[in-house]
Chain A
Amino acid sequence: MYRIERDRSRFREIVRGKLRKDLRRYLSTSELLGRRGEHTVSIPVPQIELPRFHFGENKKGGVGQGPGEKGDPLGGEAKEGDGAGAAGEHEGQHVMEVEVELEELAEMLGKELELPDIQPRGERHLLAEGGRFTGIRSHGPKSLRHFRRTFKNALRRTIAAGEWDPAEPRVVPIADDERFRMQKSCPQPDSSAVIFHVMDVSGSMGREQKDIVRIKAFWIDTWLRSQYKNLEVVYIVHDAVAKIVDQDAFFHLRESGGTKISSAYELVLQLVLDKYRPEDWNIYPFHYSDGDNWSARDTERCVTLLRDELLPRVNQFCYGQVKSAYGSGQFKKDLDSALEGNERLVTASINDREGIPEAIRAFLGKGR
């Protein structure tokens, strides 16, 4: 129905306007996390209602129906005074969820933080086999049988053979009549990227620090997803040893113990060498830590790994240092001084949630 779709899109437009206005707030809260589907994010927005004169809180109860003695609590979610007939009176603060395309959200993010589009690295374009069933062939699995074509052939053959009887229009296809759908390949330019989210989960990274990492990871994913068709995300946690974990564990794991950052860098390097080769992938490692490494020697090892192995292979390596009560923050200083001027390394320190948007801009603002 055309008319209602027009009103619906106007409503969505208004909601988007609100969203855009409030984007800064979403950027530093965990409200949107866990609301991401494959292509959309469902975002809770306070329902926008026209103001009207109506009764407020002290309306004090109402009339209900059912068993119960004086003093018994009301079961379930009794709505304040929504009693007789006046349903819909309370234009209060219902929360409504609005589905927004990831692409659109990324666009808002890009506008808000003035992020440049990512420039393709080198001249590489992957050619992927596009898979659309547009062809026809005479052999194939039954599940792909093209019924109409098959029937037509059978009908044609029946009539040609003079076996067609309008009184009893029975058509029995034989093997020769059958036609099947076929996948036609059409090469398409494609681009793939991999994100490594690496997090320090040693004892000093507290809940707040992890939340900050989480929020950042969400927005970075959202942005890069809008830039690359095919995005893979690898989650790595490390204390003294590094391991690959799934998304859920990444956000909830709590380890304790020492910190050996080099273990994580080695793991990333291993993956880059084995699986996500730079010829085929755009590579984005993000490392978050509170900056406390186990020893100066390990830091040296990290610097070497970065300079000689990782940085030449990745689009950009981002190190985000989250301030914690226990961390010394030394690691960032060490990286900055050892690798000064290397444009593929971006470091940023994040003091609190408010610092998230700036850090995102630092990481993604170069368009690499």
Chain B
Amino acid sequence: MALSSTLPPRLREESRRIEEVARAFGLDFFPVVFEMLDAKDVNAIAAYGGFPVRYPSWRFGMDFERLEKGRTYGLSKIYELVINNDPTYAYLVRTNTDMEQKLVMAHVFGHADFFRHNLWFAPTERNMLDRMASHGTRLSRAIDERGADTVEIFLDRALSLDNLVDPFLPLAEHLRRRKRETEPASHAERARRNLEALIDPRSAAKQAEPEPLSGAVTLPTFDVLGFLLEKAPLERWERDVLRMVRAEAYYFMPQRMTKIMNEGWASFWHSRILTSGVLAESEIVDFADCHSGATATASGQLNPYKLGIELYRHAEEQGYDLFRLRRAHNDTSFIDELVDEDFARTNQLFLFGKNARTGRTEVLDRDWREIKEKLLQDLSWGGLPQIELVEENHEGRGELLLLHRHDGRDLQLMHAAETLKHVARIWKKPVHLLTLEEGQGKKLTCDGETIKASDAVVPGAKPASEAG
């Protein structure tokens, strides 16, 4: 990079001032480091999910290609990019105006506070920047030893399973561990810990690593990746790749589960911070324009910025403690707590869907209970289907049995079948998936190459008449 990525003094001064205002409002965060980059470099980092150094993969190249197309043709533009890390890194696009930079900074302080204090982020790796870089190194080493093609094939396999994790596992383990730590430990336990810390300070630090890798995975489990990591017949480097993919999946999961809360929180605070004297009068109109652009709604799509900020405003009117809300909730519980008739009406929420008769997509309902239920369903489990590993020795043949916990929404079966192939290739034995298609129980069986589908009785499924 030809130009320095540090902020020019003018903006450094602004960031200091905005930080002061943010702290005065009660926001609290790890140190925030702003870097200023050209739009193209920001796109590159965005393609890597915010991290300047990651393992090599064509998928990042594809995302970059798409972002760059959007930028070149003026279709899209990245404003903010911030990563959950200590210190918290955020990237500013060099070509943005000063008003935009200030907006982004204020917004970033909101995210940084959220990262630090939202409960779901508590178990996340706070040194992810280095961790990602080390994943890069490890993968490059594997490539040196095994060749790029071999590693790429396995990596793609692992990545296609990266949503087979249990979103609630890290927090549950975190809380259990914390409980254990605060409980008065037995004398022997205390002595053992002290000794370990003395012998190898690093191993003690490692123990504290908030990674849900401890202990044997017991069935049934949603942590399919964790199970494969432990039990699949893998070579060492393969296990290492799987471990990285899983660690990254768990790192990103809380962001998935709190998208509305997180964006809402950041928008709520950037708006409040900027309008308490940070912006010059001449900048207010541009700011309003920019802000309303970010919170604009298009019918048929919910804007997390808009929904989020309105939820906090609604909560404030109702006398909630906003800081406690942002600490304890994820999107699902947040909406469960706050969406009521009044909110749905003021925000013009509606339920849409396809009219079976005309085939067009239209407004179906404005009943707030229905709307809320749909919202909760869409957001639950990070917006992913629940796939549970229920048997590891299916029919006594050492085959895996996965169960899709059907909630009225079918899987995309073609893709599910392809994904199942990857599970089988990693497990190296046939695997089965039970699911429903239009109310009919289905069993997909895959030996890694071919897929067989048969009708089946699926446990826990609603009767066909109710489902779908």
Q: Which residues of A contact B (CB under 8 A)?
A: 1, 3-4, 6-14, 47-48, 50-86, 89, 91, 96-98
Contact = CB atoms under 8 A, between A and B. Distances in A.
B299 A3 contact: no
A68 B331 contact: no
B354 A53 contact: no
B220 interface: no
Nearest to B371: A63
A119 B161 CA distance: 53
A260 B15 CA distance: 79
A55 B58 contact: no
Contacts of B352: 61-64, 74, 78
Interface residues of B, number: 79
Given A54-B411, A63-B374, A86-B379, A10 B61 contact: yes
A8 B61 contact: yes
Contacts of B57: 7, 10
A81 B363 CA distance: 13
B172 interface: no
A53 B164 contact: yes
Contacts of B303: 65
Nearest to A66: B299
Q: What 8 pairs across the A-B complex have the smallest Cβ distances?
A: A78-B300, A61-B353, A86-B383, A51-B418, A7-B61, A11-B61, A56-B412, A8-B61
Nearest to A65: B297
Nearest to B417: A51
Contact of A53 (B256, B364, B419): B419
B316 interface: no
Residue of A4, A13, A70, A75 most packed against chain B (CB within 10 A) = A4
Contacts, number: 222
Contact of A85 (B1, B163, B350, B379): B379
Interface in B54-109: 56-62, 64-66, 69
Contacts of A81: 378
Interface stretch (B20-28, B41-49, B456-464): B41-49
A157 to B, nearest CB: 35
Contacts of B355: 71
A8 B59 CA distance: 8
Contact of A65 (B53, B307, B415): B307
B419 A74 contact: no
Contacts of A48: 62
A74 B331 contact: no
Nearest to B347: A65
Residue of B349, B355, B374, B408 most packed against chain A (CB within 10 A) = B374
B259 A85 contact: yes
Contacts of A54: 163, 384-385, 411-412, 415
State the majority secondary structure of interface residues on A.
Answer: loop
Nearest to A56: B412
B301 interface: yes
Contact of A86 (B64, B366, B378, B415): B378
24 contacts: A1-B44, A11-B58, A50-B156, A51-B415, A52-B419, A53-B404, A56-B413, A57-B410, A61-B354, A62-B300, A62-B374, A63-B349, A64-B302, A64-B352, A66-B348, A68-B350, A68-B363, A76-B300, A78-B301, A80-B361, A83-B375, A89-B383, A96-B66, A98-B65
A84 B363 contact: no
Contact of A73 (B361, B404, B409): B361
Given A63-B350, A70-B363, A85-B383, A56 B47 contact: no
Nearest to A89: B383
Contacts of B410: 55-59
A84 B260 contact: yes
Nearest to B257: A85
A8 B66 CA distance: 10
B365 interface: yes
Given A58-B409, A62-B374, A65-B347, 10 more contacts: A11-B61, A11-B65, A51-B415, A53-B419, A54-B412, A78-B352, A78-B361, A80-B361, A85-B259, A85-B379
A65 B299 contact: yes
A96 B57 CA distance: 18
B441 interface: no
Contacts of B163: 52-54
A218 B411 CA distance: 42
B374 A55 contact: no
A91 B347 contact: no
Contacts of A14: 58
A14 B58 CA distance: 8
A53 B156 contact: no
Contacts of A68: 299, 350, 363
A7 B60 contact: yes
Interface in B129-186: 156, 159-164
Contacts of B300: 62, 64, 74-79, 82
Contact of A52 (B69, B347, B409, B415): B415
Contact of A69 (B65, B363, B408): B363
A12 B60 CA distance: 12
Contacts of B111: none
B412 A73 contact: no
Contacts of A76: 298-300
B266 interface: no
Contacts of B212: none
A79 B58 contact: no
Interface string B358-387: 001111111000010011001100011101
Given A8-B64, A50-B59, A73-B362, A66 B383 contact: no
B284 interface: no
B468 interface: yes
Contacts of A12: 61, 65
A235 to B, nearest CB: 31
B138 to A, nearest CB: 16
Nearest to B297: A65
Interface in B413-430: 413, 415-416, 418-419, 421-422
A10 B260 CA distance: 34
Interface string B297-322: 11111111011000000000000000
Nearest to A55: B409
B48 A64 contact: no
Contacts of B164: 53
